[in-house]
Amino acid sequence: MEVVALILFLLIFVLILTGVQVAFVLGGIASIVGMIFVPEFFSLLPMRIMGTMKNQVLLAVPLFVYMGLMLEKSGLAESMLHAMSRIFGNIKGGLALSVVIVGALLAASTGIVGATVVTMGLISLPTMMKHNYQLELATGTIVSSGTLGQIIPPSVVLVLLGSVLNVSVGDLFRAALMPGIVLVLAYAAYIFIIARVRPHVAPSLIHQKGEKVYGMKDMLLAFLLPFALIVAVLGSIFAGIASPTEAAAVGALGASILTFTQGKYSLEVLREVMRGTTHLTSMVFLILLGATTFSLVFKGLDGDQYLIHLIENSNLSASMFLLLVMIMVFVLGFFIDFIEIIFIVVPVVAPLFVAFDMDLIWIGILLALNLQTSFLTPPFGFSLFYLKGVAPKGVTTGHIYRGVVPFLLIQVLVLMIAIFFPSWLGIV
């Protein structure tokens, strides 16, 4: 039975890599194996599915997605980028620094990677090209800054990890705040240094005649509005006033109000946001139901106990096992989506982390940092595809792939610090 469980696990990965839809692979293959090898499968599956669907924490997923998509329509990203370019534009690398800071603010107020990368790609990449930025630095800055929403709360990834690891999402949000800030500072430090060492790759911004001049009032509004939303969402969670789900509802309402104040709210915008929210949420929950089926069958075959037995007999230490899982997640990120990793790999290794008596909040942050790299790693990094889809003529896939390498190394460095020195980042 244990061998069947491992074959099931490997078969699902092979089928996913061939391009078959993840949700149907997880649910379909697991159902067939369950019918044959787990007699009580059909009596347990409805209870397991209903238990998943009744999880109130998961209500935060559509609400945070709605908030991110609505803010994309508000035009605040454009206002923030223009305002930041006025502040930092006169120093070398200033426009790239502006992209990083705005990416962090958008991450804390939207958390939607695709929306952030596309928005900043459309607004900032043409400007950076116009001012003779090296294409590798420009594209690398945009794709890496756009993925900050994976670790900076409120993050859909952290919500899903909290559900799978069965830990408090609020605690994950608190623990993720400092690693997210450190990552932003590391990106900014790299850009600052490279602009000093090689000034020609990141020249200062020369403002043209006829450009809109952003006064102090415009700059304050550009930052105060999203900052107010961040405080409303994260502040209510950290202060213990609201649960993550309740705070997500506050964020969704706040995003709608901000879009209205910017004069961008309309029935057509609402329809587009609702359609996008439904599409993304349906995709996540369909995969979740398939993963629930797989998890039930895998445990019914005693696959989790078999893995624990293997690890115990292999004499692997807790740190070696953690390193092995981190390497596996990093490599899988080259080929499959973060949602698939969360719902396939994490439920399998979570009992082993419990057996090693590891802090699951710490594990959740390490996984979130690791999963963030899946958006940046060629050949299938989604952020790379998002930017290529909106990049002006002359920007090649090679420019994007080469540009992301330094930022990917920074990401791995921060992950290593979080593994070996978690107290430095305030995680544990």
Q: What is the pLDDT along the chain (428 residues), one digit of tens a residue?
A: 778 888 888 888 788 777 777 778 888 998 999 999 988 888 888 888 888 788 888 888 899 889 888 887 887 777 777 777 777 767 888 889 989 988 888 888 766 777 778 878 888 888 888 888 999 999 999 999 989 988 999 888 999 999 999 999 999 999 999 999 999 999 999 999 999 999 889 887 665 545 555 556 666 667 788 888 888 898 998 888 999 999 999 999 999 998 898 888 999 999 999 998 999 889 888 888 888 888 889 888 888 788 878 877 888 889 999 999 999 999 888 877 788 889 888 998 998 999 899 999 999 999 999 999 988 987 778 888 889 888 888 899 899 999 999 999 999 999 999 999 999 888 86
Q: What is the pLDDT of residue 166?
A: 92
pTM of this prediction? 0.87
Q: What is the pLDDT of residue 185?
A: 96
Q: Is 7 left (phi over 0), alpha (psi -120 to 50) or beta?
A: alpha
- Residue corresponding to tokens 């409120």: 154
Q: How many CA atoms lie within 13 A of 89 on its CB side?
A: 18
Q: What is the pLDDT of residue 207?
A: 54
398 closest CA partner among 412, 387, 407, 409: 387
Residue 70 in contact with residue 259, Cβ under 8 Å? yes
Q: What is the pLDDT of residue 58?
A: 86
Q: For the range 348-353, what are the long-range contacts, defined as Cβ-Cβ under 8 Å and sequence gap of 24 or more?
A: 348/9, 348/298, 348/303, 348/304, 348/307, 349/307, 349/325, 350/164, 350/165, 350/166, 351/304, 351/307, 351/308, 352/307, 352/308, 352/311, 352/321, 353/322
Structure tokens at 98: 């502006």
Q: Is 111 left (phi over 0), alpha (psi -120 to 50) or beta?
A: left
**CA-CA distance, 119 to 125, in Å (whole number)?**
10
**CA-CA distance, 335 to 349, in Å (whole number)?**
19
Q: What is the pLDDT of residue 26?
A: 83
DSSP 423: G
